[in-house]
Amino acid sequence: MSLDPQLLARLSTDPAKRIDEVIAHYRRERQPVELFEALKMKSRLAHGLPMIADPDEPLAPATSEADKQRERELEEYLLDACRQAGAMLIQDGRIAEGWMYLRPTGDIELAKRLLEDIEINDDNYDEMTQVLLHENVDLRRGYNAVLKHQGTCNSITLYDQAIAARSRKDRQIAAECLLTSFYNELLSLVRDDFRNRGPDNGVSAEAIEADAAKLNLGELIAKYKWILGGGGYHLDTTHLSSTVRFATVIDDREMIDQALQLCQYGRRLPSDFQYPGEEPFVDFYPAHSAFFSALLGQSVDTALRMFEQKARTVDVNVAGAGAIETYIDLLDRVGRPAEALRAAIELFPDDVPVQRVLPELLAMARRAKQAGDTSGLDALEQFCFGRSDLLAVAAIAAEKA
């Protein structure tokens, strides 16, 4: 960009005033990279340093308190410059560049607010999903964008490849997005099918209008068994099973009920479309139905007995620790954290490092303590000591204090 020939004459000869004028120029012209450099130069000048670092400027760490303070202030100025440049870049649609400047600040909320004003389209989809989803600035919006732009199949693949190993909170967010999308689409298709075939199955026009509007998926297929009586299905059945599988991490009761309805739908499918799962959900839809029902307070003891039997009999060397983890998780989530903790101490394989599961065990012990059962911390302390893990023993002392 060529400069106005008169600009040089208008610039102040005072270094501090001149750099302020240069900063103002880059703000007006919306040149964020140059703005960043100018802000950095201003901070150096304010701290008695050359505005452009000398190639031979020493890089040794500061030793005096004055030098350490100056380093801290320079770093704060630098982060603020990153914040300003990054915000301008994002506002101008340069998403990846803007995030590159904002990332060092750790200001996720600022990035999220800035990106909320930008519509996701075909041109910026890759950059937006990279920042929103993969950089975890706004996972919900990023995963919903994948669902919208790439469909259910690609979204399921993405979950398995990039989200399944992330935190429980992240898995919950993505699972909720997928469940909402899949459930609503399936319900819409079933309702349309009900409206179209209802008259041929003896349903009056008034009943069709009323039930299509008020009944949910589970209620429709329970009341009108002919909807799934012909051996067909309404949406890809592999997508159905994946949505159910991911939904086991969800805590929202309304969404758990939707997952249970998907199981009810799946159980009515022809056997060819009921695929086996992994332990403890080999009998896929019945096992998941029991799990979701227990979370909703239905047949809790029956479900716990079933999953306890799996936890105690499934060979971890063949099927892994999934059955044990599921039983413990279910105990904890139905409000029995002390029992969950005792089961974990008893059942976890010897080759599982304590540190891998300690955060979850401590959380269970806290919940048990809040419910009036303090024995869990003593048992956990003995368990960790028996595993020769003094770090865990030290951590438990803080919980018992």
Does the pLDDT of residue 142 top 80, yes or no? Answer: yes
Q: Look at residue 37 in the predicted model and tell me its pLDDT.
A: 96
Report the alpha-carbon distance of residue 287 to residue 81 in Å, rounded. 55
Task: Look up the pTM and report it.
Answer: 0.90
Does the pLDDT of residue 56 top 80, yes or no? Answer: no
Does the pLDDT of residue 300 top 80, yes or no? Answer: yes
Q: Look at residue 60 in the predicted model and tell me its pLDDT.
A: 67
Cβ-in-10-Å burial (0-12, 13-18, 19+) of 251 comes to exposed
Which residue did the predictor score with more confidence, 65 or 141?
A: 141
Mean pLDDT over 101-112 rounds to 96
Reported as a single tens digit per residue, the pLDDT across 232-246 is 899 999 999 999 999
Does the pLDDT of residue 140 top 80, yes or no? Answer: yes
Q: Look at residue 375 in the predicted model and tell me its pLDDT.
A: 85
- The rounded mean pLDDT for the chain is 93
- Segment (H or E) for 398: helix 390-400
Q: Look at residue 6 in the predicted model and tell me its pLDDT.
A: 86
Does the pLDDT of residue 86 top 90, yes or no? Answer: yes
Q: Look at residue 374 in the predicted model and tell me its pLDDT.
A: 82
Q: Look at residue 90 in the predicted model and tell me its pLDDT.
A: 97
Does the pLDDT of residue 377 top 90, yes or no? Answer: no
**pLDDT band (50, 70, 90) for residue 1:** low
Report the alpha-carbon distance of residue 265 to residue 253 in Å, rounded. 18
CA quadruple 356, 347, 275, 333: dihedral, nearest 10: -70
The answer to which of 206-210, 257-261, 335-339, 349-353 has the lowest mean pLDDT is: 349-353
Cβ-in-10-Å burial (0-12, 13-18, 19+) of 214 comes to exposed
Does the pLDDT of residue 304 top 90, yes or no? Answer: yes
100: left (phi over 0), alpha (psi -120 to 50) or beta: alpha
Q: What are phi and psi of 276, to 5 degrees?
A: -70, 150
Q: What are phi and psi of 293, to 5 degrees?
A: -60, -40
Does the pLDDT of residue 91 top 70, yes or no? Answer: yes
Domain boundaries, the chain: 6-52+70-116, 121-275, 335-400
Instruction: Report which of 281, 254, 286 is spatially closest to residue 268, judged by C-alpha positions.
Output: 286
The answer to which of 127-136, 219-228, 281-290, 371-380 has the lowest mean pLDDT is: 371-380
Mean pLDDT over 135-164 rounds to 97
**pLDDT band (50, 70, 90) for residue 58:** low
Does the pLDDT of residue 106 top 80, yes or no? Answer: yes
Q: Look at residue 204 in the predicted model and tell me its pLDDT.
A: 97
Structure tokens at 177: 């997005």
- Percentage above 90 pLDDT, the chain: 76
Q: Measure Cα distances from 269 to 10, 53, 108, 227 in Å.
A: 79, 71, 44, 11
Q: Is 52 helix (H, G, I), strand (E, B) or coil?
A: coil
Mean pLDDT over 367-383 rounds to 88
DSSP state of 161: I
Q: Look at residue 235 in the predicted model and tell me its pLDDT.
A: 96
